[in-house]
Structure 1
Amino acid sequence: MIDKTRILETLTEWNYWKRELPDTIVRERYESEVLHKSTTGEIVILKGVRRSGKSTILINTIKRLLEKGVDRNDILFINLEDPRFINDLNVDLLSQIRDTYLEYLNPSGIPYIFLDEIQNISGFDKWLLKEYELKTSRIFVTGSNAKLLSREIGTALSGRYLDVTVFPLDFREYLAFNGMDIKNRLDFTEHRIKVNRIFKEYITFGGFPRVALTDELELKKAELKAYFDSIMLRDIVARYRLENVEALMGLSVYLLSNISNLLSLNAIKKHFKLSFDLISRYVEYLENAYLVFRVPLFDWSLKKQQVNPKKVYSIDTGLSHIVSFKVGQKTGGRLENLVFLELLRRNKEIYYYKTTGNLEVDFVVKENERITQFIQVSAGINDEKTKAREIRALIKAGNEIPHAGGAALVLLVPDINEIVQHNGKEVHIKDVKAWLLGIE
């Protein structure tokens, strides 16, 4: 058992009872959502990949609470990855920390408790449930493991929490980190040259906040490599006690080198000459760590969805760029990955589609049991054959899938905005950068 003096020393270093909060950049979309959801009295859980900015969002939430007049002593921040806690990571530690805080800080109101990287505590769900039922604190939690969080929280805390999924920076945030505020199409047009320059950097190095704030290219690469190693070793190897680290690393590099491509587990099994069970488990671990995502084929038959290959995407184009074994990943694949991530941020249910003539549609967007959009992404349509193929795929998909007659047909490309009429259908060709910014 860790003694009170060590606990208090550690808490004093992490908290802002007698020191100023650090300078940070606002991430409005998340901070507003966190505060809004906290007004319900439910536990607020921030989940997402490591280094995506969850801790900073907690700090910015603390700033907003202080601005609202909350006393500094009424706020407790606990970093559960502090090495001084490493030998005591259990629910007793949480109770010790809370009791030490209450004894020495004597908060005047109901305290706000921020628990960073909660998945490190075995049985944390039971402790959170007790705190929730007693109504003795307002609780904010972060975590970096999708399955662990959903399993633990979904059983013990069902109906008692609201979650917020945090992603690396979207393009609007990335521009803000570079001192640009693009509010509308006029701003976008006026600053097009600078926006294009920053976009090239964004698609290459991704949206992890610290990487975005790093100017030197070699340092960006070093940061991304360190993030990849940290996710692999801390969130997967250590958590699941894996011995075949070489196979895991090889699989992760293979997936990140093939973003926006169709991959079946059987094909991966043949490539690596490993068992299907091992491949399946390792891919699941990578998904749980928010490193990769898989998108199924659209079909109204769930069985057909399950037996067909899935498309693979990365949490960040910078990560896939830095670990890829392919020289010069295709721009189209990275563009498609950015669109995928933005659709996730917009809470869309996403599939891909193959027409009867084997034409592929990158994204089928389903909302409330109906298809609302078909989206193609292309690095360029200067070649008329390419343009015709992309448009033909969209129209054919719209005609083939039942109940999709009113779905929008969208082709996202760089630097073009036009509407094309084809066989009585409208295809909206949009500048992918403007689309990412929400500028229509």
Structure 2
Amino acid sequence: MTISFYGFKSDLSLMGMLTKSQIMEILNDWNYWKKDFNEYHRRPKYQSKIELFRDSGEIIVLTGIRRSGKSTLLKMEMESLSEIVERKCLLYVNFEDLRLSNAQNDDLLSLIFTVYRENINPEGEVYLFLDEVQNVSGWEKWVYTLHELNKAKIYVTGSSSKMLSGEIATALSGRHLCIEIYPLTFLEYISFKGVVCTDLPDYTSQKIEINRLFNEYLEFGGFPKIANMKAELKHEDLISYFNTILIKDIVGRHGFDYSKLETLTYYLLSNDTKQNNINSISKALGFNYATVESYVNALKEVYMLFDIRNYNYSLKKQIKSDNKFYSVDTGFVNAVSFKFSDNVGRLYENVVFNELKRRGKEIFFLNDSGCECDFIIKERDEIKGAFQVCYSLNNSNQQREINGLIAACKKFGINRGYIITESRSELMNLKGLEIEVVPITEFLLCRDL
């Protein structure tokens, strides 16, 4: 049986025998045509950007690690739109729904759109929200066609950075704007906890509570649901997130060996912030080089891990340099690698990396002729910032940290460098440079670099 509606065809023989009635039931369960929106914690920066993109006329794409809040942002956008259009104009489809799992191809998209048009909104404008759409074979060409025919204003989400690369990006023909969604920043985290910090006076007056919350954030990370969960449940949920990402987002898509993938991921999380390369990892684990390379790339694709390279003016040398790996969330590091108290300094470094990443910085490390600096920041073609990160600055490490920072600043002509620590606050003038020592919570909440 073939259904044709608004120029689209659906062959029900390919649909796992989903009927119109079944599709309608699924849509009713997820949509807000006759029910109220749930209350969610706001994420103003993302919401403002989505609203800005709304008027562009392009497909809006949200990508990011599973459980980072993409679906919630879609629903908050729907709630915002409901103030200016009728609710029947909003169509949300969740492709994580198991009832759709046996029929995920572009015919399913056509059937859903047909059922919606026939029963809910025959003629009005449509705002279409496709959640975790990468599960649907052929989605990109279907979405592009719908967009080009001006049949709907479209939002899509997915848990893979590869959603918009290669053939998919070509299929969308540049008709999209992308926003990467991450777990909560520390500023968002304290907002979820009811603490308002907009300036330095707010920070100084609430420092005790802020520091307490930072210890929570450092240990359990910033996944939105985890933030407001009872402490005794957080570890188990983080393990569940971790396993789901490996099994569903990597093994399910690529057919990798789960045991090897798990071993590799544990190894990388246990050695995050350290210099490494594919060859040394393959030797350490006894895995084939190609296997390690493909598994590492998959972990990066699903936003589990990020890496940065040793900066070099020669791009060729830079590409061949060692990497340093960072977890998208310190909660994963603590859940599967080492005890929280074993190496707080590494967790500090990971948190600072994530903050710089979420502020859109291009990040490198520097290890050159004895000059070691944790992070240097490139803007356009110039190095604009240098940062060292350590839990405490004391007699055993102070000279090393300061010398590395001074060398980096001198190398790139930077007038000020930063050392981020637990609580020390100080401004040093050394060798014609300003070295500012900043408490990590102040850096995260009050410094707009």
Shorter-chain TM-score tier: over 0.9
| Among candidates 96, 105, 124, match of residue 111 of structure 2 | 96
1:418 aligns with 2:426: yes
| Pairing 1:62–2:78 present | yes
Distance in 2, matches of 1:134 and 1:311, equals 45
Mapped partners of 1:50, 1:150: distance in 2: 19
- Determine the C-alpha separation between the residues in 2 that align with 1:376 and 1:332: 11
Matched, 1:318 2:331: yes
Contact 1:25 1:177 in 2 (8 A): yes
- Distance in 1 (CA, whole Å) between partners of 2:149 and 2:433 is 59
State the distance in 2 between where 1:229 and 1:313 align: 18
Alpha-carbon distance in 2 for matches of 1:44, 1:435: 31
1:256 corresponding residue in structure 2: 269
2:413 maps to which residue? 405
Question: 2:178 is matched with which residue?
Answer: 163
Tell me which residue corresponds to 1:15: 31
Identity in percent: 40
Which residue in the other structure is 2:53 paired with?
A: 37
CA contact (8 A) 2:63 2:161 kept: yes
Q: Read off the aligned partner of 2:82 and give its amino acid letter.
A: L
Distance 1:90 1:300 in 2: 46
Separation in structure 1 between the aligned mates of residue 390 and residue 125 of structure 2, nearest angstrom? 53
Deviation at 1:439, TM superposition (A): 3.8
Deviation of the 1:412 alpha carbon? 1.1
Deviations 1:403-431 (Å, cap 9, x if unpaired)? x2135311111223322111111112222
- In structure 2, runs of 5+ residues without a counterpart are 1-14
Task: Tell me the number of residue pairs that the alignment of Structure 1 and Structure 2 aligns.
Answer: 432
Q: Please give the root-mean-square deviation of Cα atoms over the aligned residues, in Å.
A: 1.4
Matched letter for residue 254 of structure 2: Y
2:234 is the counterpart of 1:220: yes
TM-score, with structure 1 as normaliser = 0.95
Measure, in 1, the Cα distance between the counterparts of 2:392 and 2:163.
Answer: 41
Partner of 1:368: 380
Deviates more, 1:406-415 or 1:75-84: 406-415
Equivalent position to 1:356, from 360, 363, 369: 369
**Structure 2 contact 219–340 (Cα < 8 Å) conserved:** no
Structure 2 length-normalised TM: 0.94
Measured against aligned partners, the alpha-carbon deviations of 1:361-401 in whole angstroms (never above 9, x if no partner) come to 111100010000011111111x134222211101112223x
Take 2:421 and 2:270, find their aligned partners in 1: how far apart are those partners? 22
Cross-structure match for 1:436:
444
- The one-letter amino acid paired with 1:419 is L
Matches within 5 A, 1:295-334: 295-325=308-338, 328-334=341-347
Bigger Cα displacement from structure 2, 313-322 vs 418-427: 418-427
Report the Cα distance in structure 1 between the residues aligned to 2:374 and 2:167, rounded to whole angstroms.
34
1:108 and 1:132 map into 2 onto residues whose CA distance is: 16
- SS, match of residue 95 in structure 1: helix
Instruction: Find the counterpart in structure 2 of residue 178 from structure 1.
Output: 193
Q: Which residue of 1 aligns with 2:128?
A: 113
Runs of 4+ in 1 over 6 A off after TM superposition: none
Q: Give the equivalent residue in structure 2 for 1:377.
A: 389
User: 3-state DSSP class of the match of 2:281?
Assistant: helix
Amino acid at match of 2:399: A
Indicate which of 373, 377, 388 corresponds to 2:399. Answer: 388
Aligned-partner SS, 2:446: coil
CA–CA distance in structure 1, aligned partners of residues 374 and 358 of structure 2: 17
Distance in structure 2 (CA, Å) of the matches to 1:416 and 1:351: 25
Q: Note the C-alpha offset of 1:325.
A: 4.7
Paired with 2:53 and 2:19, the residues of 1 have a C-alpha distance of 35
AA aligned to 1:428 is: E
Contact 2:198–2:446 (CA<8 Å) still a contact in 1? no
Q: Is the 8 A contact 1:355 1:397 kept in 2?
A: no
Q: Secondary structure at the match of 1:58?
A: helix
Contact 1:297 1:353 in 2 (8 A): yes
Aligned partner (choices 233, 248, 271) of residue 234 of structure 1: 248
